[in-house]
Amino acid sequence: MSLLINGARLADGTITDLYLKDGVLADPASAPAGVERFDAAGLLAIPGLVDLHTHLRQPGREDAETVDSGTDAAARGGFTCVHAMANTSPVTDTAEAAEYVHALGEREGHCQVQVVGAVTKGLAGEELAELGMMADSKAKVRVFSDDGKCVSDSLLMRRALTYVKAFDGMVAQHSQDPRLAGSTACCHESEWSGRLGLPGWPSQAESVIVARDVELAALTDSRVHVCHVSTAESVEIIRWAKKRGVKVTAEATPHHLLLDTPLVASYDTTFKVNPPLRTSEHVEAIREALADGTIDVVGTDHAPHARQDKDHPFDIALPGMLGLEQALAVVIEVMINTGRMDWPTLVQRMSSTPAALGQVPGQGRPLAIGEPANLVLVDPTARAAVDAAASKSRSRNNPYHGRDLPDPVVATYWRGRQTYSR
Ligand SMILES: NC(=O)N[C@@H](CC(=O)O)C(=O)O
Ligand SMILES: [Zn+2]
Ligand SMILES: [Zn+2]
């Protein structure tokens, strides 16, 4: 397949033609006269987005999402690569399990699927999983996480950090002290949790783990990544650790950049997520940290759930919300349209840095001749009301339903193939 995209604007402002041929960007001057063309006047072309934090639910909960449906949603959101979290059923904690998800991705994926391996067997937090075998497998696992659960045992966390150094891997931590915020905790501990009668999830249940983990990263000289940072306290600790040269990186979700605790007053379980939506002061701290680079990447934490798992009282419903399809829209709304961030920085936070952290070759690359043809065409001014029913995901727990937001993704190309078009 070949396609000549005419007159697209790159993140740095240059206007250029892009010639997609055999999966790479070829010299536009070499395109034959009759080649298929796409007029991209007024559109931005940016590298395909890379998500470090996606729940695809396969194997085990194919009623909520599959590799097919989840990567379809990813392509619709402008992503050309997602990292599939390990909290499936069975858990991705062996080389075989990792290769199974990897093969599903190659066969059915509408984007590249990088497998995240579990840190501990069965996410039980007791024994290390087969980290080395997963790294050596065909899935080439480089990111390990018990996401959904915190690796709360300090010695296990130390061992995991030490182990992954052998292949320059990284441990992505779900920072939640299980004693300070147990399994029933579901509302930011504040006046809100008291008034609404919901078990509180104090911000320090996150920051105490972040503080411990940056110390363990310093001790082991290894790479720790903080998933879904939600509090001002965590941001301060990460800022301090980075100044000292600790190998810590961090991620912000679209929902923690836009949504806040008062939404929970509706008791609508779509707004139940872990960590919980925080108050506006915390939201502001997350935006600032993403702008100044204390938070390195946007990770969607796309967490589809079937209706029967959300149709419960708030404290019983499963936590998690969709994110892939509106991630770029939210970042444009909150960061670009407010003048806090420019396009080259957005490309770093959503494409090149996540690709580098996950060690994904061929993703997050500049749009230059010879590079893989992974890109998104973006209309930065289009807007629309979000319709949860129109989602490519199998699930409907979309927290942006009914909101007027940017509607930026015009088309997505992965390995030179169109994977989404409006
Ligand atoms: N974010 C969530 O609330 N839920 C995630 C797990 C997680 O990311 O911790 C899920 O798997 O559903
Ligand atoms: Zn998590
Ligand atoms: Zn998650």
CATH, residue 230 = 3.20.20.140
Q: Which of 145, 318, 321, 322 to mutate to test the pocket of ligand 1 (most atoms within 8 A of CB)?
A: 318
In a domain, 309, yes or no: yes
Rounded to the nearest whole angstrom, what is the distance from the C-alpha of residue 239 to the centroid of ligand 3? 23
> DSSP state, 302?
B
Count of domains in the chain? 1
For residue 402, say whether it is annotated as part of any ligand binding site: no
Mean pLDDT of 245-274: 98
pLDDT surpassing 90 at residue 1: no
For residue 70, say whether it is annotated as part of any ligand binding site: no
Rounded to the nearest 10°, the torsion over CA 59, 61, 62, 65 is -100
Residue 85: φ, ψ to 5°: -65, 160
Give CA–CA dist 47/102, Å, rounded. Answer: 22
Question: ipTM, 2 decimals?
Answer: 0.99
In percent, the amount of the chain with pLDDT more than 90 equals 100
**pLDDT at residue 265, rounded to an integer:** 98
In a domain, 314, yes or no: yes
For residue 302, say whether it is annotated as part of any ligand binding site: no
Residue 225 pLDDT grade (very low, low, confident, very high; cuts 50, 70, 90): very high
Residue type, 238: I
In a domain, 34, yes or no: no
Question: Catalytic pick from 146, 301, 309, 407?
Answer: 301
Please report, for residues 11, 18, 47, the alpha-carbon distance to residue 348 in angstroms, rounded to integers and kept in the order given.
11, 20, 10
**pLDDT at residue 413, rounded to an integer:** 98
In a domain, 100, yes or no: yes
Q: What is the mean pLDDT of the chain?
A: 98
In a domain, 6, yes or no: no
pTM passes above 0.90: yes
By CB atoms closer than 10 A (0-12, 13-18, 19+), residue 121 is middle
- List pLDDT tens digits, range 240-257: 999 999 999 999 999 999
pLDDT surpassing 90 at residue 274: yes
In a domain, 182, yes or no: yes
In a domain, 132, yes or no: yes
Residue 33's contacts (CB-CB under 8 Å, 6 or more residues apart) are none
Ligand 1 and 206: CB distance under 6 A: no
Ligand 1 and 230: CB distance under 6 A: no
Q: Could you confirm whether 68 is annotated as catalytic?
A: no
Residue 406: φ, ψ to 5°: -55, 150
- List pLDDT tens digits, range 109-157: 999 999 999 999 999 999 999 999 999 999 999 999 999 999 999 999 9
Residue 26 pLDDT grade (very low, low, confident, very high; cuts 50, 70, 90): very high
Query: 356 lies in which domain range?
Result: 48-366
What number does the ligand 1 atom closest to the CA of 148 have? 9
In a domain, 32, yes or no: no
